[in-house]
Structure 1
Amino acid sequence: MSGVTTKETALATKLSKPEPRDETVPGSNAHGRFVSREIIALMGKDDITSVSLGDHIEKTMTILFADIRGFTSLSEEMPPRENFTFINAYMKCMNPVIARHGGIINKYIGDAIMALFPADADDAVKCAIGMLRQLAAFNRSIKKTGSSRIKIGIGLNTGLMMLGIVGGEHFMETTVISDAVNLASRIESMTKDYNVPFLISEHTYYSLFGASEHNTRFVDRVRVKGKAQCQSVYEVFDADPKSLPTARQKTKADFEEALAFYHFKDVPKATKLLEKLLRRVPGDTVAKVYHERCLRFLKTGIHESSGEFDLAISWNKSMAIDHSLIDEQHRDLFIHTREFVEAVKTSKNYSQLRNVLEFMDKYIQVHFRTEERLMAQKNYPFLQMQVDQHRRFSRYFDGLRNEIKRNFETNRIFILFRIQVLIVDWLINHTSKLDLHFGKFLRYRKGRGLKSLS
């Protein structure tokens, strides 16, 4: 980006001018400018004076990271005062959008924003779309001064998090402790790799009540440090320039078919499909990334993928929650999923596969009901989260059945691709993350000498 002009600085100064405030506001309100009142309320406290070190809650939330692209280079061209004036003008544009969608700003990290959405993932997705649209308005404003537009990247992830108070005698702040935070940050950084503004994790994708309301598509799988299972990442492109979302939605099936061939290492077919797609939508940056990968593979033989598609699914002791019935059902579910994958590979026609699909569907529902009854019996505080996840998975499984019926005879590779991202990844991540949390809860209760949990 080119240097910021004095006109832009004047505009930024105008935008960042503080709102008039009542000087009679009690001192606790001043603290509220540094420790969010919303976070204090979320923790069940009345005001900042009632907060103590170690106060905490555990809650499912969606975390948002937003970062200005290339701000380090931009900031080097501005003196300190202009740096802060500009960044405050940008923050002033974004903060109301976050607040309108139920978000709570947890931290400013340089030019980055870290926000929490305690209600549901849909709020966070709508907020990110709103931020991108607000950015367009901000860019139109600074364009009038002759300045270049800025870009941002936004990443979302959803999961169980611990929110609490840390610090010392003279300084305290709120912090979030969870590996979900690291994944959200990683996904935000991936927006640079694919030259897109907005990516979400599979955990956020599967937590959406209104996923069908948005333009989304699978982008890649990423291996996260410290995690054995790869994480799927999705693009949300509702805020793209006017004609692009429609074009991408129309080519979504071709795009995902090309990715299926690429990830299952049939690169020549993937290359042809991507070239056809790029002739129709030349501005599809993710398709360009995959096309470049294909060309490099054809030249070097090196397959670039951080999360290989192998359809491997196996239960191990690290997934045990130490409840005999649930652990047995999990083991059986993994076995039945492997049999399902094998049936897709070997069945000669859809009629041979139908019985396997029906059995899988029934077994999943039996397992979900068993798990939910046990959680209700043990007063598990995150039961509703599990119920919501189970219901959404059931809807996705129904959709997969329809996809299999439509495509089984003509495109088995695409079906295996869909099974990987909709069934295998979900089951492994759900079992090794959310169900393990329930196991931790059971062991905690048992360790405190409460009613037997076996």
Structure 2
Amino acid sequence: MKKSIAALLLVLLLLGAAGTYLFGQRDMLKESPFTKEEPFDGLSKAVSDIHNQMYVIDNAKKTIHKLDSEGVLQYSISSDIGKNGEIYRFNDMAADSQGNLYAIRTLLDPYGLTVKSEQIVRYKQDGSFDAILFTQDYNDAKSSKRYRIGSLRNVQIEGDTLYFFNDEGRSLALYKVDAGSSEPKEIYKASVPEGKYVAEADGFTPGQLYYSTRSGEIYRALADGGSELVYPLPGLDRTRRNFPESLHVDSQGRLVFIDFNNKMISRLDPKHPYILEALVTQSTADSSGSGLSFEATTNSLSPDGSMDIVEETQINRRLADGTLTSAMTGAILSKQVVRHRMIVWSVAAAAVLLVLYALKLLYFNILDRRIPLMMKQIMVFVPIIAASMILLSTVIYTSFSKKMEEETFAELALLAKNGQNLIDGDKLESITSPLDYKGPVYQSFRTKIKAVFDNNVRDDNQGFYKAVYKYEDGVIYRIMEDDDGMHMFNPFPETEQNQRVVHNGEVATDQWQDFSGYWMYAIAPIYNSSGKIVGVFETSKNMDGILKHRQAVLQSIIRNIALISVGLLLVLMLMTYVLLSSIRKLRNSVGEIAKGNWDTVVTINTRDEVSDLGDSVNTMAARIRDYITKVENFSQAYYRFVPQQFLRFLHKESILDVQLGDQVEERMSIMIFNIRKFYLMSKQLSPEENFNFVNSFLKRFGPYVRNHEGMINKYLGAGFMALFPNQADEALRASIEMRKELEVYNSHRANVGYKPIDLGIGLHTGPLRLGIIGEEQRLEGNVISDGVNIATLLEKMTESLGASILITEQVVQSLSDASSFRYRSLGQVQIGGIKDPLHLYDVYQGDPDTVRVLKDKTKALFEQAVTYYQVGRFYDAREAFLMVIKQNRHDKAAQLYFYVCDEYFQNGATDGWDGTLSVS
């Protein structure tokens, strides 16, 4: 059972570690471990640096990938979530020669529509965040709302200098950030012609700066801050619907842009403004097998003269010689990433196996053993209830999501159909080119749409995306959208749904994904006064916001179901508790009896089988109680002769387990405690008085041994031998306290006319063998050790050396805090009966104040004298001991040393003298 529980705890610990690791690597689990390429999904931009490394904005502007020249993924940067649910998107980027990446990071509202702020941010070569270089905030005023993109335009690198534009409405400002700096500086500002609105901008030298407008023109920003039209010039054969998008200036000052109306990428030399060169057309794209469709296409120019062309799921490159490469549809994963993904999936597989093993341990190993019934019920019912609740929450969530989707489509369809009332078809037909951008008709449409959609501040009615399209000559053109990155008269891709609208007049709903995200939408026809379909009105919602709402609902469902589950479990546990209360009461009472609480009475009033069992237990307990009382009385009587500690050292539960020869080796402190000259005193007492005196004396001093975790092993007439299994500190404290108690004891004797007594204590620490000796019919616990002999001899020497407590060096070395005791070194002393000399110490902490003060005062001088003696400087030692005696004439140790030093000084040391003091 213990092994199974230990194994289960270990498995749970491993599962916790695996879960923590997998949570941190959860993105790795979204892809197959055998996939060696991460496909693009929702591309919007790609740029290359001078090392031919490519940076890609992917995943609906949520992620930036860095690819090396071979297309191998180096790192990925993911966008963040704002503190109030806002979302960040990447709108542009550029890389310098050092590998630093600069990006425009746009903060949108939770629905992904309205711009809250924009930043120019820098990332280091490894993709880690470095700094925010520039911030542009936008207030909530309706007149200043920006959709999808803000005012920052086109980050670009020239050398190692960063340039970017800021659309300030009536002017266009150019900023630069020098290499090694983090402070943008405005270096140029150009005025925008009246009624024109900046769409894109490129260049970094005044006079060579170009910007496109929302009405379809391209202007040159002059050095004096003015603007000059360069495209389209009067007389240029254009339809006025050839809107220039994705505008760039190449190294020779030529303009490169995309013409969605003609499905081509064009190049214009401002020196020859009437010559428009086709770099890539639909026909050349089809013939090269590149797969370009000119839908949601962007392009960028590379330092080597090539061009990166980006569509939703692929990147093509037009080389400098005009060749189109095959499409790149994904980033190649490095071997390290593939290996890492395999490790993550291996950990996930191991976690699944651990879960299965944990279930096996729980339900086949542990539940099969004896555990509380309540615990068994919890282990059985909790998984059942949890599984049921998960199934229930899944059904509820699925049903809710379907219902919510249906309601969303119905709401979108209703709003789209209402577009007929917002958009006048006749006026829509009057819009014929991008020149009508923000004209009177355009503004009237925008005002009506805002009046319907922007005045309702309820959360569930926010986040709508609105768009107006014009249908003309079989082509659907963009006219107005909640996306400042989209331009007028950009042809809209044909789909089954919009064909149903323009041909059949139906209201169509569906979902789709583009580089801006996932959407649910509804489109409806717009009619002119003659009943002809002339346009399409669209309302849609970003799925990210809907999914967040669903997640919030799911969390609410899970939370409520969890509360219900907990409530059910509590009810179940309460019912079980009530039903099993009598059994539990019986179990607790029997448990108390088993613990030795024999006076416990089982009281069960259920008047059933359990009540009868309780009465039987009471009868049984009464009989056991009588028997145990006798056994306990016997045991208590026995423990007076054999201490319980003695049995514990032998690892025996009771005296019944003890056998002849049981023994164990321990390291302990041995104390010999005895009354000095008791033999002479006992002659003056009768045998009865002797017994009474010894018992009262031992009764007074014995508890000090027990108070310090020691045990009295043997009584020695007028003293005892005690053992201290723990630190020597406890033995020494007990000795000091008994010596102090002697002063109190003698004062009481003096009060009744008795003479004072004196005692000696010898203390030694060392190994000993403790065990049972004797023969089968007569056993005794005893200690065999040289330490007993040493402690006995020390006690006998206490009087000769003028000490009440003598200890050996082994005791001092065993003290955990020797500085807390007051003692002095007596040097190496040769004791009769022991071969090797012992380093002894006189502990005077428990001596009377007069003795203790004098020994404290002369301690340093005494120990210095002992040192002189040990090195043979007998004269110096004799003089020092003489000074000690002059201050403390009762110091027997100093007197003994003095006479020996005088003898050796006068007659020389004996043969074989080794610096020790011989004491017999």
CA contact (8 A) 1:102 1:117 kept: yes
What SS class does the counterpart of residue 699 from structure 2 fall into? helix
Change in 2 beyond 3 A, CA 1:204/1:306: farther
Change in 2 beyond 3 A, CA 1:227/1:276: closer
Change in 2 beyond 3 A, CA 1:305/1:101: farther
- Give the letter aligned to residue 308 of structure 1: G
> Whose relative contact order is higher, 1 or 2, with alpha carbons under 8 Å and at least 6 apart?
1
Match of 2:693 in 1: 86
CA contact (8 A) 1:261 1:267 kept: yes
Match of 1:219 in 2: 826
CA contact (8 A) 2:809 2:839 kept: yes
Match of 1:291 in 2: 898
- Cα distance in 1 between the residues matched to 2:912 and 2:881: 17
Match of 1:124 in 2: 731
- Cα distance in 1 between the residues matched to 2:849 and 2:742: 15
The yes-or-no answer on 1:76 pairing with 2:683 is yes
Shift of 1:151: 0.5
Residues 222-261 of structure 1 aligned to structure 2 (within 5 Å): 222-223=829-830, 229-261=836-868
The yes-or-no answer on 1:58 pairing with 2:665 is yes
The yes-or-no answer on 1:267 pairing with 2:874 is yes
The unaligned stretches of length 5 or more in structure 1 are 1-21, 311-454
Match of 1:194 in 2: 801
What SS class does the counterpart of residue 26 from structure 1 fall into? helix
- Give the letter aligned to residue 637 of structure 2: A
- Cα distance in 1 between the residues matched to 2:863 and 2:660: 49
Change in 2 beyond 3 A, CA 1:26/1:181: same
CA contact (8 A) 2:769 2:785 kept: yes
Paired residue for 1:171, among 778, 791, 801?
778
Structure showing greater Rg: 2
Shift of 1:303: 5.6
Change in 2 beyond 3 A, CA 1:304/1:158: farther
What SS class does the counterpart of residue 78 from structure 1 fall into? coil
- Cα distance in 2 between the residues matched to 1:134 and 1:275: 32
The unaligned stretches of length 5 or more in structure 2 are 1-628
- Cα distance in 2 between the residues matched to 1:175 and 1:153: 22
Count of residue pairs the alignment pairs up: 289
Shift of 1:304: 11
Deviates more, 1:284-293 or 1:164-173: 284-293
- Cα distance in 2 between the residues matched to 1:63 and 1:167: 22
The yes-or-no answer on 1:105 pairing with 2:712 is yes
Change in 2 beyond 3 A, CA 1:29/1:305: farther
Residues 322-337 of structure 1 aligned to structure 2 (within 5 Å): none
Match of 2:291 in 1: none
Shift of 1:286: 1.8
Match of 1:47 in 2: 654
- Cα distance in 1 between the residues matched to 2:816 and 2:885: 32
CA contact (8 A) 2:872 2:915 kept: no
Query: Which deviations, in whole Å up to 9, do the C-alpha atoms of 1:153-187 show, x marking residues without a partner?
Result: 10011111111011112221111111111111121
CA contact (8 A) 2:827 2:916 kept: no
Shift of 1:260: 1.6
Change in 2 beyond 3 A, CA 1:302/1:39: same
Match of 2:262 in 1: none
Match of 1:336 in 2: none
Match of 2:763 in 1: 156
What SS class does the counterpart of residue 769 from structure 2 fall into? strand
Give the alignment's TM-score, normalised by structure 2. Answer: 0.30
Match of 1:31 in 2: 638
What SS class does the counterpart of residue 125 from structure 1 fall into? helix
Deviates more, 1:296-305 or 1:208-217: 296-305
- Cα distance in 2 between the residues matched to 1:302 and 1:28: 60
- Give the letter aligned to residue 846 of structure 2: A
- Cα distance in 2 between the residues matched to 1:308 and 1:150: 35
Query: Which deviations, in whole Å up to 9, do the C-alpha atoms of 1:265-323 show, x marking residues without a partner?
Result: 3222112112222222333332222223334445554569986359xxxxxxxxxxxxx
Change in 2 beyond 3 A, CA 1:304/1:294: farther
- Give the letter aligned to residue 689 of structure 2: E
Give the alignment's TM-score, normalised by structure 1. Answer: 0.60
- Give the letter aligned to residue 812 of structure 2: Y
- Give the letter aligned to residue 714 of structure 2: K
Match of 1:185 in 2: 792
Change in 2 beyond 3 A, CA 1:105/1:305: farther
What SS class does the counterpart of residue 61 from structure 1 fall into? strand
Query: Which deviations, in whole Å up to 9, do the C-alpha atoms of 1:45-74 show, x marking residues without a partner?
Result: 122222111111111100000111101111
- Cα distance in 1 between the residues matched to 2:794 and 2:803: 11
- Give the letter aligned to residue 763 of structure 2: L
Query: Which deviations, in whole Å up to 9, do the C-alpha atoms of 1:238-261 show, x marking residues without a partner?
Result: 011114324322322211111122
Query: Which deviations, in whole Å up to 9, do the C-alpha atoms of 1:368-419 show, x marking residues without a partner?
Result: xxxxxxxxxxxxxxxxxxxxxxxxxxxxxxxxxxxxxxxxxxxxxxxxxxxx
CA contact (8 A) 2:712 2:722 kept: yes
Which protein is richer in strand relative to its size? Answer: 2
- Cα distance in 1 between the residues matched to 2:877 and 2:838: 22
Deviates more, 1:37-46 or 1:77-86: 37-46
Change in 2 beyond 3 A, CA 1:283/1:228: closer
- Cα distance in 2 between the residues matched to 1:40 and 1:293: 48
CA contact (8 A) 2:676 2:758 kept: yes
- Please provide the CA RMSD for this pair: 2.5
Identity of aligned residues (%): 34
- Cα distance in 2 between the residues matched to 1:309 and 1:31: 47
Shift of 1:90: 0.8
Which protein is richer in helix relative to its size? Answer: 1
- Cα distance in 1 between the residues matched to 2:913 and 2:639: 43
- Give the letter aligned to residue 635 of structure 2: S
- Cα distance in 1 between the residues matched to 2:824 and 2:777: 47
Shift of 1:208: 0.8
The yes-or-no answer on 1:134 pairing with 2:707 is no
Shift of 1:25: 4.2
- Give the letter aligned to residue 240 of structure 1: D
CA contact (8 A) 2:771 2:781 kept: yes
Shift of 1:31: 1.2
Shift of 1:28: 2.0
Deviates more, 1:296-305 or 1:133-142: 296-305
CA contact (8 A) 1:133 1:239 kept: yes
CA contact (8 A) 1:222 1:307 kept: no
Change in 2 beyond 3 A, CA 1:65/1:304: farther
Shift of 1:101: 0.8
CA contact (8 A) 1:28 1:49 kept: no
CA contact (8 A) 1:223 1:307 kept: no
